[in-house]
Structure 1
């Protein structure tokens, strides 16, 4: 029931969705569902609208434009981290988000099981 993050390079030739190509660049795996547990602790508080959209059963695609807000919301999860695994997952998600923020050809895919 975890959510993994994959940094994808988007190549779009023309306007047709058929010409869109996604290439995985890096991945952060949430092997022990740490990210989902952290997000569940803030769910319903209306302070993290982007994290509220994270679903352990679906995908959420974020663009470089979304990254400042996403990084801000990830920072709000840090005080809730209790284990080394929690911190590892947050750090890896933050690293991918920073990379995505710096390049408009990238997307961050948060994929549930």
Structure 2
């Protein structure tokens, strides 16, 4: 039930979605479902609306323009982290989010199992 992050470079010639191609440029793996457990602790609160969209069985895609808010919400999760593994996962996601924020050709894909 974990959610893994994949940083994708988007290449699109023209406006047709058929000409869109994705290349993975980075990953962060949550092997022990730490992120999902932390997000579950915030469910029902309005403090982390982007993280509330995470689906342990589906996928969510965030653009580089959405990264400032995503990073802010990850910072809120850091306060809830109780183990070094939880903190490691959050920091790995933050690293990818910082890269994504710096490059408008990137997207952050959060993929459930």
Secondary structure of residue in 2 paired with 1:45: coil
Partner of residue 97, structure 2: 97
Secondary structure of residue in 1 paired with 2:103: coil
TM-score (structure 2 length as normaliser): 0.98
The unaligned stretches of length 5 or more in structure 1 are: none
TM-score (structure 1 length as normaliser): 0.98
Cα RMSD of the aligned pairs, angstroms, is 0.5
Secondary structure of residue in 1 paired with 2:46: coil
Partner of residue 29, structure 2: 29
Secondary structure of residue in 2 paired with 1:104: coil
CA distance in 2, matches of 1:55, 1:22: 21
Map 1:41-80 onto structure 2 (within 5 A): 41-80=41-80
The 4+ residue runs of structure 1 with deviation greater than 2 A are: none
CA distance in 1, matches of 2:17, 2:44: 35
Deviation at 1:84, TM superposition (A): 1.0
